[in-house]
Amino acid sequence: MASLHALIYGRVQGVFFRDFVSRHARALGLSGYVRNLPQGGAVEVKAEGERPKLDSLLEKLHQGPPGARVDRVDVEWAEYSGSFADFRIRYWD
* Residue 88 is a catalytic residue: no
* Residue 51 is a catalytic residue: no
**How crowded is the C-beta side of 22, counted as CA atoms within 13 Å?**
15
Cα–Cα distance for residue pair 72/14, rounded to 1 Å: 17
Give the residue among 3, 41, 6, 10 at the shortest CA–CA distance from 21.
6
The one catalytic residue in 11, 23, 36, 88 is 36
φ and ψ at residue 78, rounded to 5 degrees: -145, 175
The one catalytic residue in 18, 26, 88, 90 is 18
**Which residues are marked as active site?**
18, 36
